[in-house]
A and B are shown apart, each in its own frame.
Chain A
């Protein structure tokens, strides 16, 4: 019997082929949920879905689009936000 913590589904089970030809179950951390737009809750494009350990080692430019509100708002919401802001200032 495996350890108690491995019996819960907090870890995902990955079947791996060993060099000897047997399959073995490995217990790995689950990936975090997909990044979503703060405005419309759509899934954001260009934001990778990786465990924090891997995200730590990836460069900042690969973690979100290089735009104002990149990685927070989708393009549509960002456009709307910028337009609203500029109109407020000009008024």
Chain B
């Protein structure tokens, strides 16, 4: 039985290896256009984003993460991006690998482009409308307090006045 299992595993392994080999060959046999695209993907390459909400905006490749993903910055948001979502241009910019946003901004200014700036929005305090019942309460409360205090004071005074009288008696 063991032998049979081993054989089965061996067959499976060979099958998977064979598939892997064919996949690699497929990758090598990609069209010329794709091949050149892969060659053009390098740090400092100016690109146009063609997918997502930043589509149509120019960006620069800051870092090549792996075969499919790169880090971009510029008119777009600074983010990870698939290579297939970029259209590389002929121009290149001198920036270091993993360049900061400030560096990219300065480089973009030289070409005449403006890098995207994300400002944290200042919080606005909105004048909130209170309910009528809530508006009425704060006006009513102080009156009540005064009344209560007055009542208490009166009660205290009465007690004070009564006590000494009793003592005197």
Question: Which stretch from A11-19, A24-32, A76-84 is at the chain B interface?
Answer: A76-84
- Give the distance to chain A from B148, nearest Cβ to Cβ, in Å: 51
Q: Is the interface of B mostly helix, strand, loop or mixed?
A: loop
Specify which chain A residues have a CB less than 8 angstroms from the CB of B48 in the assembled complex: 82-83, 86
Instruction: Mark out the residues of chain A between 61 and 87 whose CB falls within 8 Å of any chain B CB in the assembled complex.
Output: 65-69, 75, 78-79, 82-83, 85-87
Q: Are B55 and A78 in contact (CB under 8 A)?
A: yes
Q: Which residue of B lies closest to A87 (CB)?
A: B87
Q: Which residues of B contact A75 (CB under 8 A)?
A: 51
In the complex, the answer to whether A68 meets B89 with C-beta atoms within 8 Å is: no
- A67, B89: Cβ atoms closer than 8 Å: no
| A interface size (C-beta, 8 A) | 14
For B89, the chain A residues whose CB sits under 8 A away are 86, 90
Q: Residues of A at under 8 Å CB distance from B?
A: 65-69, 75, 78-79, 82-83, 85-87, 90
Jot down 13 A-B pairs with beta carbons below 8 A, ordered by A: A67-B52, A67-B53, A67-B55, A68-B56, A78-B50, A78-B55, A79-B51, A82-B48, A83-B87, A85-B56, A86-B89, A87-B87, A90-B91
